[in-house]
Amino acid sequence: MALPQTKQDVTEARLSTLDMPQGASWANALRENALSRLRAVGLPDRRDEYWKYTRPDTLVQAQGPQAALFETQEEDELFGGVERLQIVFVDGVFDAEASDDLSGENVKIERLAEVSQTDIHWAKDLYGVLETRGQTPVARPLATLNTAMATDGVMIHATGKVSKAIHLVYHHKSTSSDAILHHLIKLEDGADLTILESGPAAARFNKVMEVEIADNARFHHVRKQGRDHERVAVTHIFARLGRESAFKSFTLTANGVMTRNECVIELTGDDAIAHVAGAAVGDGDFHHDDTVFITHDAERCESRQVFKKVLRNGATGVFQGKILVKAGAQKTDGYQISQSLLLDGDSQFLAKPELEIYADDVICSHGSTSGAIDEEGLFYLRARGIPESTATDLLTLAFLAEAVQEVEDEGLREDINNRLSGWLERRRG
């Protein structure tokens, strides 16, 4: 079927502002392939079912919106207490001076901008592969655009336990930056790797992270999205898991007029575990969308989706979460919960939980709720002398706790909790 003219126009207008990076022949071929795949489907518009609750306009238009920089005040550096190797991008451009030396034990870290110039590299067999797999049954054209046009990113190859976390730090210094980064992460059998991400990255940010997790490997991911409120961002994680492997991802978001975080996971080896969680705190014209698609294609795998949003002053939260259990994926254990705490009547939470199951011996549960603050609890706290605003914060943190609990590392979890209570407190001031 031919693409509607309007979609073609929007897609070409966007492409006209971008130059496809040139490199080795394999890289050029993969990019060209992505470009033709994108042209076949076109960029999303609001008539697309998958974009029913989130208007993609600012993410697809030729020029991204301007975004003022956020004054972080006296905030401590996040993850400051963690042993880590920092890789810094400023408005999507690698900053060698600010970054640590990219060498570590059991891990090789390179950059897409360099790797794509070399003739032989493992990335050749993986770049865009999981992104392509993630296009069915639902198209994700912004990820395809990313594969075609990404200017840089990190290529991480972990061969064993990597003792230091790898921290991708995204600074935003230009009010009109438009960044596209594509990370490729490959964990060999038994590898163990933690990726941290923090910062607003750019006025408009399109990021893809493809993660190939071999048998027995463990991947941990904790990210904090930047607070520059006017920034817009679309991110995709594509992960494929082997036997007895684990994937755990947690995202903390406060502020942002447009955030769409997609996470597409395939459990292809038996006894694998995938947990995806998010805590979001939004105020005013905040719009935050978590879209998750988990495919169980092996036996005895476990998946968990835990998403919590606190919304006030007309903020909007969206959750689209799906568990697909393929025929033969017996003993699947799937769990999905999405909840919102609406601090006033103007805010809204739109949830679309889905289960699609073709195996007969599985446990899958899902739930979604929206509620106001518990008045009885609030009065109880106030009757003990806790001011209303502090009491509301305590109940808010308690509400988010189930999602934050998904962060396995105690130190990182503490970091997230401190950051959250600091945010809540400062907003009051």
Partner 1 sequence: MLEIKNLHVDLEEEDKTILKGVNLTVEAGKVHAIMGPNGSGKSTLSYVLSGKDGYEVTGGQATLNGEDLLDMEPEERAAAGLFLAFQYPVEIPGVGNMTFLRTAMNAQRKARGEDELSAAEFLKLVREKAKTLKIDAEMLKRPVNVGFSGGEKKRNEILQMAMLEPKMCILDETDSGLDVDAMKLVAEGVNALRDAGRGFLVITHYQRLLDHIKPDVVHIMANGRIIKSGGPELAVEVENNGYADILAEVA
Rule CB under 8 A: which residues touch partner 1? 374-377, 379-388, 390-391, 394-395, 397-399, 401-402
Question: Could you report how far apart the first and last alpha carbons of the chain are, in Å?
Answer: 56
Minimum CB separation of residue 396 from partner 1 in Å reads 10
Minimum CB separation of residue 280 from partner 1 in Å reads 17
Q: Residue 157: which of 118, 93, 108, 204 has the closest Cα? A: 108
Question: Residue 81 or residue 387: which is nearer to partner 1 going by CB?
Answer: 387
Question: Residue 137 or residue 385: which is nearer to partner 1 going by CB?
Answer: 385
Question: Residue 355 or residue 394: which is nearer to partner 1 going by CB?
Answer: 394
Minimum CB separation of residue 247 from partner 1 in Å reads 26
Minimum CB separation of residue 306 from partner 1 in Å reads 13
Largest CA distance in the chain: 70
Structural tokens at position 35: 């470009």
Taking residue 5's Cβ as centre, other Cβ atoms within 10 Å add up to: 8
Minimum CB separation of residue 374 from partner 1 in Å reads 8
Question: Residue 328 or residue 367: which is nearer to partner 1 going by CB?
Answer: 367
Question: Residue 18 or residue 373: which is nearer to partner 1 going by CB?
Answer: 373
Minimum CB separation of residue 333 from partner 1 in Å reads 23
Question: Residue 360 or residue 376: which is nearer to partner 1 going by CB?
Answer: 376
Minimum CB separation of residue 309 from partner 1 in Å reads 15
Structural tokens at position 127: 């770049």
Structural tokens at position 353: 């939980």
Question: Is 176 in contact with 204 (CB distance < 8 Å)?
Answer: no
Question: Residue 32 or residue 425: which is nearer to partner 1 going by CB?
Answer: 425
Query: 161 CB contacts (<8 Å, ≥6 apart)?
Result: 106, 190, 191, 192
Question: Residue 361 or residue 376: which is nearer to partner 1 going by CB?
Answer: 376
The Cα–Cα gap between 21 and 41 comes to: 22
Minimum CB separation of residue 414 from partner 1 in Å reads 14
Give the C-alpha distances (Å, rounded to integers) separating 351 from 52, 171, 230, 366, 397: 11, 31, 24, 11, 21
The four Cα atoms 239, 243, 244, 248 give a dihedral, to 10 degrees, of 0
> How large is the angle between the packed helices 388-404 and 375-383, nearest 10 degrees?
120
The Cα–Cα gap between 217 and 196 comes to: 17
Minimum CB separation of residue 158 from partner 1 in Å reads 35
Question: Residue 114 or residue 425: which is nearer to partner 1 going by CB?
Answer: 425
Question: Residue 359 or residue 395: which is nearer to partner 1 going by CB?
Answer: 395
Q: Residue 89: which of 226, 186, 217, 188 has the closest Cα? A: 226
Minimum CB separation of residue 259 from partner 1 in Å reads 25
Question: Residue 95 or residue 374: which is nearer to partner 1 going by CB?
Answer: 374
Structural tokens at position 111: 């950059």
Minimum CB separation of residue 80 from partner 1 in Å reads 21
